[in-house]
Amino acid sequence: MEALNIATGSLVWSFTFPTGTSGTNAIAIANSKVYFAVNTSGGTGNIYALNSKNGVLIWTRPATTNASFSNPIALSGALYAAEQPLNTGSAPQLDAFNVIDGSVIWTHQIPGKATTNLAAANGVIYFGGSSTLYAVNESDGTLLWSSQVDGGPVSTPTLGSGIIYYASATYYVTAVNASDGSLVWHYLVGKPFAPTVSPALYLGGVYIGSMNKPVYALQASSGNLIWQRPIGVPITTTASIRNGIIHVGLIKGTLRTLNVSDGVERWYFHTNGIISTSSPPLLAYF
């Protein structure tokens, strides 16, 4: 892992993973610390906390024996991460750690393995797993409700005002009530979504790309189609949207931009590689 100067791109610090380990694909940053999971192919994983200014290790916290961590999230003074057992005899669990020293606040068994990243709002943590959307209490990890609408999410749920939006396992863009997981609306796309693609919310609209190659714009309140724009290549990132412009990454390594209003293409850039596991494009204006 490396930290670069935002102005010059020069190296500020680097962190070398222990031999035989690898980091997960996302980090959390809070309280001047960088948090991330480090796992092995067949052993116990760890959460690491580094000083964000110099990369010095502050604390580590191991998972349960023969379990690995998924990507952590930090909020309200706690760091949350799901543990995934590496054998069938153990149950998955959700952990809450103190962000300052890594001490355990609580740990709670969860009904199914977390197959998406965690999302949180209003004291509730949401995640997908076992064809189900789960909602658990942020304060103690107890299950509030579960929903199997449209086979649950395949990627990180997107949280709106009282509504949760997700790309479903049965090829819908799905909106459910945040209070109980009941269906609000769904829109059938008919083809799979990449696990790196979640709905993006912008000014009353829901925007998402699919492996069937279009970008869709839907009304956030009703799910009615505003427009769809064929792209010709599977879309593999969540859209980033700013100033009326949508930015999406394509599996063949192209970054493409569209108008929010009508989906008309503005410009594209070829990376000469592939984009298959990326986070949403990061937008900055100079």
Is the entire prediction scored with pTM above 0.75? yes
* Residues contacting residue 47 through CB under 8 Å, at least 6 positions apart: 35, 36, 37, 38, 60, 61, 63, 69, 72, 79, 81, 97, 102
Residue with tokens 């008309």: 264
Report the SS3 class of residue 111. Answer: coil
Are residues 132 and 152 in contact, defined by beta-carbon separation less than 8 angstroms? yes
Q: Edge to edge, what strands does the sheet with 124-129 contain?
A: 119-121, 124-129, 132-137, 143-147
What's the CATH number of domain 194-286, 3.30.565.10, 2.40.10.480, 3.40.50.1100, 2.60.40.10?
Answer: 2.40.10.480
pLDDT at 198 over 80: yes
pLDDT tens digits, residue range 74-124? 998 899 999 988 876 778 999 999 999 999 999 999 988 899 999 999 999
User: What pLDDT shows up at residue 286?
Assistant: 42
Q: How far apart are CA 88 and CA 144, in angstroms?
A: 25
User: What pLDDT shows up at residue 6?
Assistant: 80
Q: How far apart are CA 175 and CA 187, in angstroms?
A: 9
Q: Indicate the domain borders of the chain.
A: 2-193, 194-286
Q: What is the CATH number of domain 2-193?
A: 2.130.10.10
CA 65 remoteness from chain centre: 25
Are residues 36 and 48 in contact, defined by beta-carbon separation less than 8 angstroms? yes
